[in-house]
Amino acid sequence: MRSHYCTDLDVANIGEIVEVCGWANSHRDHGGVIFIDLRDKSGLVQLVCDPEDSTKAHEIASSIRDEFVLKAKGRVRARGEGLENPRLKTGKIEIVVDELIVENASETVPFVIGDNNVGEDVRLKYRYLDLRNAKAYEIFKLRSKATVAVRNSLDAQGFLEVETPILTKSTPEGARDYLVPSRVHNGEFYALPQSPQLFKQLLMCAGFDRYFQVAKCFRDEDLRADRQPEFTQIDIEMSFCNQEDVMKVTENLLRDVFKACGHEISIPFNRIRFKEAMEKYGSDKPDLRYDLSMIDVIDIFANCKNEIFSNIAKDTKKNRIKALKVPNGDNIFSKRQMQSFEEYV
């Protein structure tokens, strides 16, 4: 059907006869010569339809509109001097079309592909059009790379991927189950799994030792920023392991995933104990980029006249009085900002 994806072509292909397929991203008529930017999943390449090269191809090109599905065959040539497009990967070449086929015509689309100002309702209504923009494709591509890296990393660490059932028995978990009526057993229902918990424990009892799954999970609960009915999780279970073993597997996994996505991270990660995290940052998941840690000042208030603080300071085992020390804070914060801090406290 085709010999190359659009951005597979470069100056090394000059003089070759190639076949490409895709969508008409845009078209321009410059004095009888028609230029079409052809788009596929890889990007854009420019087609040139000149009546001197092919009358039939030019005639077809004159009827083409945006988002027509096309197949083109022609010769790769260098663009003329001063006509190169540095914004495109294929900006130094173009295809002089000998044969042009309209695989599928398109009605006028409701919005321009890639337009960031289109309302969300319109984008979702025409999701198949919205997904044609390069940004959307790159998101799916990144997710695919990450998923492949997860499988490769865990396989290299001795894990076995097992697909567990989707239609299963209802078991109590953190949310309500989605129920599916059974055709065979009248009045009975299957439940969609909130997690593969029981199945992976069964595998551990059977001696599988190390299991993983990129698992679909379903929870019937209200939508929130961190909740949705259907989601995918990396599910892992190990036998005969301790805390260090789990942390090592996780570090290796994250390193491999980030590397596959183009980022290098070093392991082992910096580690901080729970007590230290709570004492310094007041959170068990601190952002270590934030270096304004809390300072214990309970001893300072032990003998102060303010009874609220002095009573708290009497029991240093149960209570804490913390402060944030901001160097040169008098010059950084305005009087109004300081008053707002006092009101908050």
Residue 128 lies in a domain: no
CA dist 331 and 86 (Å) reads 48
Residue 115 lies in a domain: no
Same domain, 255 and 143: yes
Same domain, 18 and 63: yes
- Asked whether residue 16 carries a pLDDT value surpassing 80, the answer given is yes
What is the chain's Cα-based Rg?
A: 31
Same domain, 164 and 78: no
- Tens of pLDDT, residue by residue over 88-129, are 999 999 999 999 999 999 999 999 998 889 999 999 999 999
- Asked whether residue 184 carries a pLDDT value surpassing 90, the answer given is yes
Same domain, 60 and 99: yes
Residue 247 lies in a domain: yes
Percentage above 90 pLDDT, the chain: 74
State whether the Cα torsion 238-242-246-251 is positive or negative. Answer: negative
Same domain, 253 and 280: no
DSSP, residue by residue, 206-242: TT--EEEEEEEEE-B---BTTB-SEEEEEEEEESS--
Same domain, 199 and 226: yes
Note down the domain range covering 286: 274-344
Same domain, 90 and 197: no
In the listed set 59, 84, 104, which residue is the last one of a domain according to the structure? Answer: 104
Q: Check: CB of residue 90 under 8 Å from CB of residue 133.
A: no
- So what's the pLDDT on residue 109? 94
- Asked whether residue 323 carries a pLDDT value surpassing 90, the answer given is no
In the listed set 234, 260, 286, which residue is the last one of a domain according to the structure? Answer: 260
Same domain, 36 and 76: yes
Asked which of 245-254, 292-301, 302-311 is least confident by mean pLDDT, the reply is 302-311
State the CATH number of the domain containing residue 336.
3.30.1360.30
Q: Check: CB of residue 319 under 8 Å from CB of residue 313.
A: yes
In the listed set 226, 260, 294, which residue is the last one of a domain according to the structure? Answer: 260
Residue 146 lies in a domain: yes
Q: Check: CB of residue 46 under 8 Å from CB of residue 97.
A: no
244: left (phi > 0), else alpha (psi -120 to 50), else beta?
alpha
State the CATH number of the domain containing residue 10.
2.40.50.140
CA dist 321 and 17 (Å) reads 76
Same domain, 278 and 255: no
Same domain, 50 and 147: no
* Beta strands at 43-49 and 33-40: parallel, antiparallel or unpaired: antiparallel
**Number of domains, the chain:** 3
The residue among 32 and 121 whose pLDDT is bigger is 121
- So what's the pLDDT on residue 308? 75
Q: Check: CB of residue 126 under 8 Å from CB of residue 86.
A: no
Full-model pTM: 0.83
Same domain, 244 and 323: no
- Asked whether residue 175 carries a pLDDT value surpassing 80, the answer given is yes
Residue 300 lies in a domain: yes
Q: Nearest to residue 163, comparing CAs of 238, 208, 213?
A: 213
Q: Check: CB of residue 18 under 8 Å from CB of residue 76.
A: yes
- Asked whether residue 317 carries a pLDDT value surpassing 80, the answer given is no
Angle at 11 between CA 7 and CA 16, to 5 degrees: 85
Residue 133 lies in a domain: no
At 40 the three-state DSSP class reads strand
- Tens of pLDDT, residue by residue over 123-170, are 999 999 999 999 999 999 999 999 999 999 999 999 999 999 999 999
Residue 43 lies in a domain: yes
Grade residue 288 by pLDDT with cuts at 50, 70 and 90: confident
The residue among 106 and 289 whose pLDDT is bigger is 106
State the CATH number of the domain containing residue 148.
3.30.930.10
Residue 113 lies in a domain: no
Same domain, 94 and 173: no
- Asked whether residue 307 carries a pLDDT value surpassing 80, the answer given is no
